[in-house]
Amino acid sequence: MEKKRIYLSCPTMHGEELEFVHEAFDTNWVAPLGPNVNEFEKEVAAYTGSKAAAALSAGTAAIHLALKLADVKEGDIVFVSDLTFSATCNPICYEKAIPVFIDSEPDTWNMDPKALKKAFEKYPNPKAVVCVHLYGTPAKIDELMAICGEHNVPFIEDAAESMSATYKGKQTGTFGKFGIFSFNGNKIITTSGGGMLVSDDEEAIARARFLSTQARDAARHYQHSNIGYNYRMSNVVAGIGRGQMLHLEEHKAIKKKIYEQYKAAFADIEEITMNPMNPDGDSNCWLSCMTLSEGCEVTPNQIMDALEAENMESRPIWKPMHLQPVFEGYDFISAAEGDISVGEDIFNRGLCLPSDIKNTEEDMANIISIVRGCFGR
């Protein structure tokens, strides 16, 4: 008999989602746009404290529109976090702009302010800075924004992984000119797919809605003066999001409990360090990650193989963008003094542990037992 599958992080439905979806069917609002989209935007804006929000087909679409609204064009330089998923960086290339990858710092694994300063010294006039809040932990926002402010460059937050996380009491995604959230199936809440662009610039969000609905001009006939995109969220999908929003804080609390349980369980194994938290922030602990000490005889692959043998899903840390074949040739800026960058070191020594909120106490005990067993404990 096949063992129960333990997932890294997968959707958790509660029932209210279906009520909103049924409402969309009952009122025949199944085509893109409709009451669920309008209300979902209002609910996300209210929760995050943003003045406006645009519901889109993906977090990637939100990043793309943020770059468009920041007037990023062909040949422009955009500074972007190096330790991330490629969706953060791909939209830069959609616009034929030039990504310059910025290394992490070890305190939070996020964009290093020192490396960002070096980047500005080398490239004084970038068009934007895109910073990721990795695995749900807020970056050093004050320091990064101060540097961007000195150079009058817009700060864009990729908060795809950090919805509900806060920095000094304020929601991530709401500090910069634009913030983006993802509702992909593995995120803290999901719409099966989808994203949201938020900003205090209401005119910019109105522009995003226009561009995301094929940029159709206000004319009786079909007229277009701009290139548009089919990026709007559907009314059915937005209904799922509205139901999920009711449980966002609940999901966050369970994610944090999972992280603390792992941290306590491995406290006596000196080779293991859990992913760091920002003392000025409150992480949503989207994924619980660990790194192994340098020279450790146990490797991340051995731990992942041991978990997979028991039908438990784990993942490597994101492979830094400057090491990806598709981005070969683009510049990378690091403040690290050694031969290896901070992000590459984390990638080499780290892994993401099963962090699904449906994990039972028995599931957690089994996961912990397998990891401890790799160290003979």
Q: For residue 140, which of 108, 115, 164 has the smallest C-alpha distance?
A: 108
The domain ranges of the chain are 16-245, 249-374
Fold classification of 16-245 is: Aspartate Aminotransferase; domain 2 (3.40.640)
End-to-end CA, the chain? 27
For the stretch 253-289, pLDDT in tens is 999 999 999 999 999 999 999 999 999 999 999 999 9
pLDDT computed for residue 66 by the predictor: 98
CB atoms under 10 Å from CB of 170, counted, come to: 14
Torsion of CA 297, 300, 306, 307, to 10 degrees: 150
For the stretch 27-41, pLDDT in tens is 998 877 899 999 999
For the stretch 171-190, pLDDT in tens is 999 999 999 999 999 999 99
| Tokens read off for 215 | 């940029």
Fold classification of 249-374 is: Aspartate Aminotransferase, domain 1 (3.90.1150)
Tell me phi and psi for residue 166, to 5 degrees.
-125, 155
What does the H/E/C string look like for 216-242?
ECCCCCCCECCCCCECECEHHHHHHHH
Q: How far apart are CA 32 and CA 235, in angstroms?
A: 5
Q: Cβ(151)–Cβ(177) under 8 Å? A: no
